[in-house]
Amino acid sequence: MTGYAQSGRSVLRTFRQAVAFQTLGVEAVIQHMMSLFPPEGVRIVLTLFLSFLIGLEREEQKAIKGYLSFGGVRTFPLIGLIGYALALISGNSQVPVTAGFVVVAAFLLLSYQHKLAKLDSAGVTTEMSGLTTYVIGALVAHDRFWIATTLAVASLLLLELKGGLESLSKRLPTEEIFTFTKFLLLTAVILPIVPNRSFGPFQFNPFKAWLVVAAVSAVSYASYILQVRTQGQSGILLIAILGGIYSSTVATVVLAKRAPTQHQPHLFSGGIVISSSVMYVRILVLVGLFNVTLMKMLAPPFLAIALIGTLGGWLWSRRTFTSQEPPKNEVLAANPLELSSALLFGVLFVLMLALTHYAVAYLGRGGVYTLAGLTGFTDVAPFIMGITQTAGQSTPIMLAATGIIIAAASNNVVKGGYAVGFADQQTGRESLVGLVLLAAAGCIPLVWL
């Protein structure tokens, strides 16, 4: 039994290294082998190989647990061959395959009942693995090689990662599971039933609008999860970076409010500048999800601004000399997947979409510039996502890029005002200067647009 376990570990390590290879070209490899060898022989060998790997893993677990349980390196290949043979002789009929599945399931049920009689608590993983092995054999018979191999690989991963998965289920709070369920509600449940056609004079598409809501919520939620996972760790710059991904306005207000109690003006003002610099990367990601042409136009200046601003903020924060304990990371804001937040963003997005359309139609470039400047006093994301929907259509692509640049710059100046209002005098003054310089640098591309 020990030999089985050692050989099992060695083979499984080799097989895991080949996972990437099989996902890239398993169909091509099998087809090539079938041109060199008898096709049915190749199918039988593949069935035996995949079934044997699952049986080998179960054999290893029996050695670790120290008691006998159903199946191993002989039983699982036999189950796979039964599935293959029944699928082969049944042709297009699914009756023999289904009947065989029921019979194998009955034997596995007897095994599970026997296990329950001996143990106080028993899992059903081995029995489910047996049913999976039967299906793998049937899939190989129908030339579904990629699906069969993927099922085998997924089964091995789930079986091998038992300890890690069980530990994860204990560490994962119920609230986070519920939050992820909300995300699935936004994307997998609501999105498919929303009408995917345009309405009204400004071509409002409900599907695209809700897709924008889901995308923005997903980006903010990723930052939120990182904040939760790093909560309590030292580093104001970590707060600034994660806050910039979530919302640079929220991050600025939070950092400014904390600055008076820490007496580290360089550190906090540098963090505020970093947060607003990261905002440019966030804008690029969101724009790129819906308008690649617009994203390519904005990418060079925005990436340069993000890099220069982040480096400048970091260098400025390094001027801090203090013996105080560094601030701890904390969650900056509420969960962005709250349905009320998603609905509010959706309403603002539709409003900005309509305002942009009418500004272009009746006020021209000046109207778009004015609207972009005014959005700096609120969340710029609805305006930016709205203009991505009209860029290249009702809004010229160059005008859309200019509007986004102005909105980002305006928002930076407004955040400088927030810093002055909430932080201590020195932190507020340094933050305002830094954000005004960042806004000015952000407006440089307007020279050639």
- The pLDDT score that the predictor gives to residue 113 is 82
As a whole number of angstroms, the distance between CA 43 and CA 66 comes to: 34
The closest of 75, 54, 41, 74 to 8, measured between CA atoms, is 54
- What are 20-30's pLDDT values in tens digits? 444 445 667 77
pLDDT digit string (tens) for 73-88?
888 999 999 999 999 9
Contact assessment for residue 154 and residue 10, using Cβ atoms and an 8 Å cutoff = no
Helix (H/G/I), strand (E/B), else coil: 204: strand
User: Mutual orientation of helices 265-290 and 397-422 as an angle, nearest 10°?
Assistant: 160
**Interaxial angle between packed helices 364-375 and 381-390, expressed in degrees from 0 to 180 and rounded to the nearest 10:** 150
- Residue 36 to residue 32: CA distance in whole angstroms: 7
Q: Please, what is the average pLDDT of the chain? A: 80
- 254-263, 324-333, 440-449: segment of lowest average pLDDT: 324-333
The torsion of the CA quartet 333, 337, 343, 349, rounded to 10 degrees, works out to 70
Three-class secondary structure of residue 378 per DSSP: coil
Question: Would you place residue 230 in the very low, low, confident or very high pLDDT band (cuts 50, 70, 90)?
Answer: low
pLDDT for 48: 92
Q: Which residues lie closer than 8 Å to 404 by C-beta, 6 or more apart?
A: 283, 287, 294, 298, 372, 384, 387
CB 22 within 8 A of CB 149: yes
Q: For residue 395, list its beta bridge partners.
A: 391
pTM for this predicted structure:
0.65
Q: Which amino acid is at 409?
A: A
Distances (CA, A) of 58 to 8, 129, 200: 9, 9, 61
Q: What is the C-alpha separation between 240 and 415, in angstroms, rounded?
A: 14
pLDDT for residue 168: 62
Dist CA 95 CA 86 (whole Å): 10
Angle 378-436-329 (CA atoms, 0-180°, nearest 5)?
65
Q: What mean pLDDT is predicted for residues 124-142?
A: 90
Mean pLDDT of 258-277: 89
For residue 17, pLDDT over 70 is answered with no
pLDDT at 18: 44
Which pLDDT value is given to residue 375? 87
Answer yes or no: are the C-beta atoms of 397 and 430 closer than 8 Å: no
104 sits in which H/E element:
helix 95-118
Distance CA 229, CA 136 (A): 39
Please check the confidence at residue 394 and state whether its pLDDT lies above 90: no
| Six token digits for residue 58 | 């179960």
Strand partners, 234: 328
> Is the separation of the CB atoms in 319 and 430 below 8 Å?
no
What pLDDT was estimated at residue 69? 64
Q: For residues 92-104, give the mean pLDDT.
A: 89
Tokens standing for residue 421: 């209002």
Check whether 146 has a pLDDT greater than 70. yes
Nearest to 428 by CA among 296, 280, 253: 253
CB atoms inside a 10 Å sphere around CB 347: 13
Q: What's the angle, vertex CA 239, arms to CA 234 and CA 242, rounded to 5?
A: 130
C-alpha span between 110 and 367 (Å, rounded): 75
Angle of helix 125-141 versus helix 39-65 axis, rounded to 10: 170
Give the three-class secondary structure for 224: helix
